[in-house]
């Protein structure tokens, strides 16, 4: 039995929450994952995991063994990185994820410049509006918009994004400008699924949250579609500030109800807590964070 390999399988099962999730994460047959854990328990002559149909939990012996295994594997990984020169010169493969529109507008330009500066690093940029699991999806760095839950992830704030209400000058000239959230009841609205409700929008009046009914003339699944429909004067929409930035700059849209906006959302670069940060990851963070901050400096204003 390869004990380091078995330790790695055990840690994957614990960190992903189940043997089947570990199987997907490691790209290893479930039967192999189960056998390796069983072989390790037999070798130690003790039970490490309590298995149920949906999840696993650690025994006291398992908890202690997992902590020791994690430390051992980190030391082995660090030794390998030193031996291969990863801590000497930034090199290797890096995977970064970001929301689709934000990634295209703000992250991709930074990535292009980063790769020009670091020719020995290859980077995969995964643009997705779903919140991926950094462990299961093998992600080195994720750019997240919104408040973050407590976790074992390391987060660096790079800026803030407004959640604002928009309409075209032509629409407002024909239908009037809402001055209070309650005025939206008399307007046509464009809702972006996953960000706004098709029936209720929430605002702030001082420290008090205000929820008002809206009439959704059009519901769409992308920010680009919501922006285009608003520019076409179909109605009023709600977007994150970066999603409407170009239309605002072209004066195709204007911001409404600024006094009632909710607090801006933070934008963070996050990665998994570990021992010494690999040089390729540190190089990307040192390069990208100040550039993203500069690009977002006006977004939360």
> Which 3-state string (H, E, C) describes 175-239?
HCCCCCHHHHHHCEEEEECCCCCCCEEEEEECCEEEEEECEEEEEECCHHHHHHHHHCCCCEEEE
Q: 3-state DSSP call for residue 22?
A: helix
Cβ contact 95:138 at 8 Å: yes
The pLDDT of residue 150 is: 62
Under 8 Å CB-to-CB from 168, ≥6 apart: which residues?
230, 231, 232, 233, 252, 253, 254
In this structure, CATH architecture of domain 3-84:
Orthogonal Bundle (1.10)
Write down the CATH number for the domain with range 163-260: 3.40.190.10
Split at pLDDT 50, 70, 90, the class of 275 is low
Domain 92-162+265-296 class in CATH: alpha beta
Beta strands per DSSP E along 87-134: 92-98, 121-127
CA distance 265 to 163: 8
Under 8 Å CB-to-CB from 151, ≥6 apart: which residues?
none
HSE-up (13 A, CA, CB side) for residue 197: 9
The pLDDT of residue 81 is: 66
The pLDDT of residue 259 is: 94
Distances 26 to 38, 194, 222 between C-alpha atoms, Å: 17, 31, 33
**What's the mean pLDDT in 161-171?**
95
Least confident segment among 47-56, 124-133, 195-204, 239-248: 47-56
The pLDDT of residue 198 is: 79
Distances 142 to 32, 134, 139, 185, 216 between C-alpha atoms, Å: 30, 8, 7, 38, 33
Split at pLDDT 50, 70, 90, the class of 301 is very low
| Predicted TM-score (pTM) above 0.75 | no
Tell me the average pLDDT of the chain. Answer: 88
Q: 3-state DSSP call for residue 245?
A: helix
CA distance 143 to 99: 7
CA distance 214 to 225: 19
Q: 3-state DSSP call for residue 14?
A: helix
Per residue in 176-220, pLDDT (tens digit) is 999 999 999 999 999 988 777 778 999 999 889 999 999 999 999
Under 8 Å CB-to-CB from 75, ≥6 apart: which residues?
275
The yes-or-no verdict on residue 87 having pLDDT over 90 is no
DSSP letter (8 states) at residue 129: S
Q: 3-state DSSP call for residue 20?
A: helix
The CATH 1.10.10.10 portion of the chain extends over 3-84
The CATH 3.40.190.10 portion of the chain extends over 92-162+265-296, 163-260
Cβ contact 48:37 at 8 Å: yes
Distances 23 to 32, 35, 126, 227 between C-alpha atoms, Å: 8, 12, 22, 41
């Amino acid at each position: 039995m390869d004990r380091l390999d078995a330790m790695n399988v055990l840690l994957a099962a614990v960190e992903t929450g189940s043997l089947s999730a570990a199987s997907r994460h490691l790209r290893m047959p479930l039967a192999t994952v189960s056998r390796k854990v069983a072989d390790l328990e037999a070798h130690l002559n003790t039970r490490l995991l309590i298995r149920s149909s949906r999840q696993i939990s650690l025994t006291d012996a398992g908890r202690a063994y997992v902590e020791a295994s994690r430390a051992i594997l980190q030391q082995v990984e660090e030794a390998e990185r030193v031996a291969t020169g990863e801590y000497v010169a930034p090199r290797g493969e890096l995977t970064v994820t970001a929301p689709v529109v934000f990634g295209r507008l703000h992250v991709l330009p930074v990535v292009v410049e980063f790769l020009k500066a670091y020719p020995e690093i290859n980077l995969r940029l995964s643009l997705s509006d779903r919140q991926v699991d950094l462990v299961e999806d093998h992600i080195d760095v994720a750019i997240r918009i919104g408040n973050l839950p407590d976790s074992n992830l390391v987060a660096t704030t790079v800026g803030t994004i407004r959640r604002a209400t928009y309409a075209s000058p032509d629409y407002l000239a024909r239908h009037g400008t809402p001055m209070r959230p309650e005025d939206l009841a008399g307007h046509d609205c464009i809702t972006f699924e996953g960000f706004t409700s098709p029936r209720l929008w929430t605002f702030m009046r001082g420290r008090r949250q205000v929820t008002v009914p809206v009439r959704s003339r059009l519901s769409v699944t992308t920010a680009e579609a919501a922006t285009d429909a608003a520019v076409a004067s179909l109605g009023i929409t709600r977007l994150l500030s970066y999603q409407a930035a170009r239309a605002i700059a072209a004066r195709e849209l204007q911001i409404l109800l600024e006094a009632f906006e909710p607090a801006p959302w933070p934008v963070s670069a996050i990665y998994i807590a570990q021992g010494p940060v690999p040089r390729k990851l540190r190089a990307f963070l040192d390069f990208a964070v100040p550039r993203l901050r500069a690009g977002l400096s006006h977004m939360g204003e």
